[in-house]
Structures are given as structure tokens and as C-alpha cells.
């Protein structure tokens, strides 16, 4: 199997002056993940490596640069999934961690559980020596100012944030990666700071298996982004896999899922897909979605 990888850096109305930083961030991530695959590393290693690049990049709403919740704090969600045995690890509402995706992987590999949240996740991180960081080191001036602006307003709704027809706050995107390695293992990883001004303790789709992330080496890997609550209601990542199992191709399955998201629950977002034969695709109903991929023959593609 020829290794392939696709990553995304969020789906929203990305203004032109931010296209460059998004495409640069996605390209750096996909190249890092692909270099792992070329050295014979597994798809799990590749998606973790790719997501870590974007968690360190303040362009994106993950790790450094995450949105602040209603209390002015960073709380992050992440999942990683190994499509060979469907094992996954997830963390939710976790604080003080630069790389939630690596902590999620440790949950998968070193505990009997699939998901740890909040303080328990942080205690687990400390117990296994994962470095923790002060809150300020994940905070950017940009997000502090956004938070202050939201607080000055009378009301703020998530819908208004993702709805392309309404006034927006120049949001940032969640990040995700899907890879297939030379042995045909598919892995998917998704990491986010969530939505701006979310209630403390709110958990979105990104850490929930089948919603923001899914991988099955017999079918495909999927990472989703966008307004989390509708993505959760439609269990969108698993829906894409169901459609593939029913005989659709990657483009049809992605488009069907996004159509359903919009028609059934008026949601907004996007998905990246990589199937067991190395076919890649993406679908979104937001004006833009930042994506980069490296397919067969090391062909690179980018989309915004």
C-alpha cells in the first residue's frame, strides 16, 4: 500500500488575508505526517505528528491559539483512533496541555479506558510525565481580545458563529488528519479548542468517536470540523463510513453527510476522508475549508 495522508485546519469563511497562514500550516503538517509514513512509521504515528504541528501553530483553534471558554479559560478536546482494531483514546475539557492529541494517544495505549476528561485527564498526564504548561502559554492576544469583545456583547450564539450568512468573528479552525500506512492501517486524529465562549465543561464533536473522528482500516478514516453540536447529532464521521460501506465513493459519501447535516439539523462544517484504497476527498458547506494532502506518487494537493 502506498502511504497517503490528508489534513484539515478548519471549515469556515476564511478571509483572504488568512489563506496563506492556513495553507502553510496545513502543508507543514501534512509533510511532517508524510515523512513519518515514508520512514515506515505507522498511520497512528503520522496523524499524531501532523496534528502536533498544527497544535503548536497559533493559526488554528487547537493547542496554542485555542478559543477561550465563557470563563476565559482554554479547555481542549482531542481523539486519535487506530482503524485496525478500532481502539481509540480521547481527552475532553482538558487544560494545561500543549498537545492534547498525544495525551489522547496515551489514553489509548496506556489505560483500560477510551476517554478521560477534565481534571482526571490532567492527573493522568502528570502521572505519566506528560509536560503541563501554565494557562497563559496557550493563550494568544488575539483570543483574549475576541473573548473580551464577546463579553461586551449582550448575547452570543454558536449558530451565529458558524452560519455563513451571518456576521462572524473571524473564527479559527479545529485541526485533523487521516492517514493510511504501507500496511494498510488507517488512523484518524482530531484536536480542538472548541467554540468561542462555550460553557465551562462543554465537550464538542472532536473528542467523540464517530462524530468528529473515526477510523476503520476495512473502510476509511474521517475527521470532521465545524459547529460541533450538529456534527454530534448526526454522528457524522461514522455516517460517512456507512455510506462507503453501502457502495458510495469518497466524494459521494462526504457530500451526502454534509447535505444531511444541513438539511436535518441546519449544521455547518466539513469532513476529510481517506479510504482503504488511498482515495481522498473532502466536502463542506462552509465557504472555505483549509486542507492539504499527499496522495499516491507523493502528489501534493491543497484546497481552501
Residues annotated as part of the active site:
174
Nearer to ligand ASP, 49 or 232 (CB): 232
User: Of the two residues 105 and 198, which places its CB atom closer to ligand ASP in the complex?
Assistant: 198
Q: For residue 266, what is its C-alpha cell? A: 441546519
Q: In angstroms, rounded to a whole number, what is the distance separating the alpha carbons of residues 104 and 76?
A: 11
In the complex, what is the shortest distance from the CB of residue 200 to ligand ASP, in angstroms, rounded to a whole number?
14
Q: How far is the CB of 9 from ligand ASP (least distance, A)?
A: 10
Contact status: 69 vs ligand ASP (CB under 6 A) = no
Q: How many chain residues touch ligand ASP (CB under 6 A)? A: 15
Which lies closer to ligand ASP via its Cβ, residue 100 or residue 194?
Answer: 194
Q: Are 211 and 92 in contact (CB under 8 A)?
A: no
Q: Specify the residue for cell string 488507517.
A: 186
Rule CB under 6 A: choose which of 32, 48, 55, 61 binds ligand ASP: 61
What does the per-residue mask of binding to ligand ASP show for 218-237, with x meaning CB under 6 A? -------xx-x--x------
Give 192's strand partners. Answer: 77
- By CB under 6 A, the residues from 76 to 135 that bind ligand ASP are none
Q: Minimum CB separation from ligand ASP for residue 16, in Å?
A: 19
Q: Return the residue of 3, 9, 10, 267 that touches ligand ASP, per CB under 6 A.
A: 10
**Identity of the residue, 215 or 224, whose beta carbon is nearer to ligand ASP in the bound complex:** 224
Stretch that binds ligand ASP, among 26-34, 50-58, 119-127, 202-210 (CB under 6 A): 202-210
Whether the Cβ atoms of residue 63 and residue 76 lie closer than 8 Å to each other = yes
Q: What are 12's three cell numbers?
A: 469556515
User: By beta-carbon distance, which residue lies closest to ligand ASP?
Assistant: 228
Q: Kindly provide the b/e burial profile for residues 85-98, where b requires at least 16 CB atoms within 10 angstroms of the residue's own CB.
A: eeebbbbbbbbbbb
- Based on the number of CB atoms within 10 Å of its own CB, is 167 exposed (0-12), middle (13-18) or buried (19 or more)? exposed
d(CA 114, CA 121): 11
Whichever of 192 and 243 has its CB closer to ligand ASP, that residue is 192
CA 165 to CA 38: how far, in whole Å?
Answer: 42
Per-residue H/E/C for 120-140: HHHHHHHHCCCCCCCHHHHCC
Please give the grid coordinates belonging to residue 62: 487547537
Could you tell me how many residues make up the chain? 304
Q: Per rule CB under 6 A, is residue 205 in the interface with ligand ASP?
A: yes
Among 89, 194, 196, 230, binds ligand ASP (CB under 6 A): 194
- Triad 238, 231, 30: Cα angle to 5°: 70
- Using CB under 6 A as the binding rule, the residues of this chain from 254 to 283 that contact ligand ASP are none
| Set of cell numbers at residue 167 | 456576521
Q: By C-beta, is 33 or 65 nearer to ligand ASP?
A: 65
Residue 204 near ligand ASP by CB under 6 A: yes
Q: Could you tell me the smallest distance in angstroms from the CB atom of residue 296 to ligand ASP?
A: 28
Contact residues: ligand ASP, CB under 6 A: 10, 61, 173-174, 192, 194-195, 204-206, 212, 225-226, 228, 231
Amino acid at each position: 500500500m502506498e502511504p497517503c495522508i490528508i489534513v484539515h485546519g478548519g471549515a469556515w469563511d476564511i478571509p483572504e488575508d488568512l489563506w496563506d497562514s492556513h495553507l502553510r500550516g496545513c502543508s507543514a503538517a501534512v509533510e511532517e505526517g508524510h515523512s513519518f509514513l515514508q520512514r515506515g512509521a505507522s498511520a497512528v504515528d503520522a496523524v499524531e505528528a501532523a496534528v502536533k504541528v498544527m497544535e503548536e501553530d497559533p493559526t488554528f483553534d487547537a493547542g496554542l491559539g485555542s478559543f477561550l471558554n465563557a470563563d476565559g479559560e482554554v479547555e481542549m478536546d482531542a481523539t486519535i483512533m487506530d482503524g485496525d482494531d478500532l481502539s481509540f483514546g480521547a481527552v475532553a475539557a482538558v487544560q494545561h496541555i500543549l498537545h492534547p492529541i498525544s495525551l489522547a494517544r496515551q489514553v489509548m495505549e496506556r489505560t483500560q479506558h477510551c476517554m478521560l476528561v477534565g481534571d482526571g485527564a490532567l492527573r493522568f498526564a502528570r502521572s505519566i510525565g506528560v509536560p503541563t504548561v501554565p494557562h497563559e502559554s496557550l493563550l494568544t492576544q488575539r483570543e483574549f481580545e475576541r473573548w473580551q469583545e464577546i463579553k461586551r456583547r449582550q448575547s452570543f450564539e454558536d449558530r451565529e458563529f458558524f452560519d455563513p450568512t451571518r456576521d462572524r468573528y473571524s473564527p479559527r479552525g479545529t485541526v485533523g488528519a487521516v492517514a493510511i500506512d504501507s500496511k494498510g492501517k488507517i488512523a484518524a486524529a482530531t484536536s480542538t479548542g472548541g467554540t468561542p465562549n462555550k460553557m465551562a465543561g462543554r465537550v464538542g464533536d472532536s473528542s467523540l468517536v464517530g462524530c468528529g473522528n473515526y477510523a476503520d482500516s476495512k473502510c476509511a478514516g474521517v475527521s470532521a470540523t465545524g459547529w460541533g453540536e450538529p456534527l454530534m447529532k448526526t454522528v457524522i464521521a461514522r455516517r460517512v463510513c456507512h455510506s462507503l460501506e453501502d457502495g458510495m465513493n469518497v466524494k459521494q459519501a462526504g457530500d451526502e453527510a454534509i447535505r444531511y447535516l444541513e438539511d436535518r439539523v441546519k449544521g455547518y462544517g466539513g469532513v476529510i476522508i481517506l479510504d482503504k484504497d488511498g482515495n481522498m476527498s473532502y466536502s463542506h458547506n462552509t465557504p472555505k475549508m483549509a486542507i492539504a494532502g499527499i496522495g499516491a506518487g507523493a502528489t501534493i494537493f491543497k484546497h481552501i
